Amino acid sequence: MIELLAETGSTNADLISRLRDGDRVGEGNWLVADRQISGRGRQGRSWFDGSGNFMGSTVVRCLAQDPPAASLAFCVALAVYEAVLPYLPTPADLALKWPNDLMLGGAKLSGILLEREGDAVVVGVGVNLAAAPDLPDRRTTSISMVAPAPNRDHFAKMLADRFAVELDRWRTFGLGPLTRRWMAAAHPVGTPLKVHPPGEEAIEGAFAGLTEDGALMLRLPEGRIRTIHAGDVMLAREEG
């Protein structure tokens, strides 16, 4: 089910509030807004709410036998990748960036925010369908820059369907097959990256793949591999 709102502060915040009020928000239900006035991204950033873009959230109920909840980032990223792909004239320009950004021609197309609330994870997704923000530190893009902008409601249905499939795969087959599929959709090994680990200066290196638990492996200039569990990652050509 997809519930549509003309305007709200944040679809993630709305679902978190419902969960705290005891509402048993079911998996497969999405809350989608025409406009968000307080949309949030990773690391406290605001999220652009351009008209015609997709801004929505859903809930995953964590089960004891599920893979680690943090690995949902890869599950969601693959769902967004699969939902966007049919709208592009040149699919090869689309690539995932760790852990869950979707890049089109080296510029950011979408963002994902996961927030834990009790036994649930609220999954927020923003995709630039019709317009992209002008950011000082990175390049951004929208589908409309390379093809006709998808109908927002049609895209919402596509994404909901793809996420249901990916969520079932995540639960059925676990993290290994998921990260292998993520790697196949990501920028190539050897891609130059700049990483800002929490509380540290930025470090530069080359993408060297993922660990078994989904952490980023960064090959430093001297050849040593550093494992990154958290941080802001940018492609060299992404910087504005």
Q: Are strands 30-33 and 107-117 parallel, antiparallel or unpaired?
A: unpaired
Q: Count CB neighbours of 68 within 10 A.
A: 10
Measured between alpha carbons, how far is 49 from 39 in angstroms, rounded to an integer? 7
Strands annotated E in 119-214: 120-127, 192-196, 203-210
What is the pLDDT, as a whole number, of residue 92? Answer: 77
Q: Identify the CA nearest to 15 among candidates 57, 66, 72.
A: 57
Decide: pTM greater than 0.75: yes
Element (H, E) at 3: strand 2-5
65 burial (CB, 10 Å; 0-12 / 13-18 / 19+) is exposed
What is the pLDDT, as a whole number, of residue 41? Answer: 47
What does the pLDDT look like over 98-150, one tens digit per residue? 988 999 998 999 999 999 999 899 999 999 999 998 877 778 999 999 999 99
